[in-house]
Amino acid sequence: MPRRLLFLTLALSLLIAPAAQAAGLTLGVGTKPGSSQNMVAERFAQLLAEHSKGRLKVEILHSGAAGNESQVARHVLDGQMQLGVVTAAVLDAVAPEVRALEFPFLFANYDQVDKVLQGRPGQMLLESLAREGYKGLAYGENGFRHLTNNLRPVHTVADVAGLKLRVMNSEMAQALWSLLGADPLAHPFPINDLLAKGEVSGQENPLWVIRVYELNKLQKYLSLTAHVYSAHICLANLAWFDKLPPADQTLVSQCMDQAATEQRARNRSGEASLLAQLKAAGMQVDEHPDRASFMAKAAALEQSPLMQAPGAKATLAAFREALK
């Protein structure tokens, strides 16, 4: 190469290199600002910018800009974005281990959730996602899911019979609600149109979702079934993560862990007030539905082929062991 050209190439690469290094990262969530996934995302972006002194910038795509949660998960996998925060359930078709997390009535309270997910079994589940091309970074949460509908009060599982119910794009959710006697329809979030058009009479989600998306305007009855704990999984594209310098890997992991930990605490401390707000807004709430009747029917889910997959079975066993 002639000397002048070599010099020019060097000069150019020096100009370009810092720009490429500071290139922004993209993180996708399906829901809108004010939602629990966004709280994790926003805090993560803030922490990462702070700790990298502005070197690692995260742009958050939300409210459908990156698609629904299933599409966000796919975009993280195909590298269109480096990071995502999604409800765990959207991964249960590709990662059987996630099915254990969604097993109904597995966790009685948040202490049990933390014991399992912040312990070794939860860590192993995150690590198992490497097989699918994901770096599982941390768990945020939606919280415990409850049932709403606009037909009738639901107190026992018998009241669910024939209820047309929107569920997540999750194999476990469809199987569970079929077992409980409902007529489930898998549909991505948001679901306001679906409810408004009367294509379904009910849905199930944690309290913040009902409040933030004003589902109380479309649903009259709320039963605090707490049938499933709904985690977020904070994800990165594994190939991207593996190529980061080790110090940046640690930074990304630690910032996400802190953001998720803070969000879980915030979610839990806000639930009593959310319930009061939903009551004040006119929802008719059954605070003590007959959960035992739901549990009795839901137990059969363990025999379904979904839970017979080795990853699902072993993960559920490990979770139960940690709960002993």
Nearer to ligand EAX, 102 or 238 (CB): 102
CB of 248 to ligand EAX, least distance (A): 28
x/- string (CB under 6 A) for ligand EAX, residues 202-221? ---x---x------------
Q: Give me the residues paired with residue 236 across strands.
A: 83, 135
Q: Does 168 bind ligand EAX (CB under 6 A)?
A: yes
230: left (phi over 0), alpha (psi -120 to 50) or beta: beta
Nearer to ligand EAX, 87 or 238 (CB): 87
Nearest residue relative to ligand EAX (C-beta): 189
Residues 238-277 that bind ligand EAX (CB under 6 A): none
Contact status, residue 284 vs residue 222, Cβ threshold 8 Å: yes
Nearer to ligand EAX, 89 or 251 (CB): 89
x/- string (CB under 6 A) for ligand EAX, residues 41-70? ----------------------------x-
Contact status, residue 231 vs residue 144, Cβ threshold 8 Å: no
Q: Does 30 bind ligand EAX (CB under 6 A)?
A: yes
CB of 302 to ligand EAX, least distance (A): 23
Spatial separation of the C-alpha atoms in residues 298 and 193, rounded to whole Å: 29
CA 206 from centroid of its chain's CA atoms: 12
DSSP 79: T
What is the Rg, in whole angstroms, of the alpha carbon atoms belonging to the chain? 22
- Give the pair of three-digit tokens for residue 125: 């589940």
CB of 190 to ligand EAX, least distance (A): 8
Spatial separation of the C-alpha atoms in residues 65 and 61, rounded to whole Å: 5
Size of the site for ligand EAX (CB under 6 A): 10
Q: Does 142 bind ligand EAX (CB under 6 A)?
A: yes
Short-list 87, 98, 103, CA closest to 140: 87
Q: Does 31 bind ligand EAX (CB under 6 A)?
A: yes
Spatial separation of the C-alpha atoms in residues 184 and 216, rounded to whole Å: 20
Q: Does 87 bind ligand EAX (CB under 6 A)?
A: yes
Applying CB under 6 A, which residues contact ligand EAX? 30-31, 69, 87, 142, 168, 189, 205, 209, 230
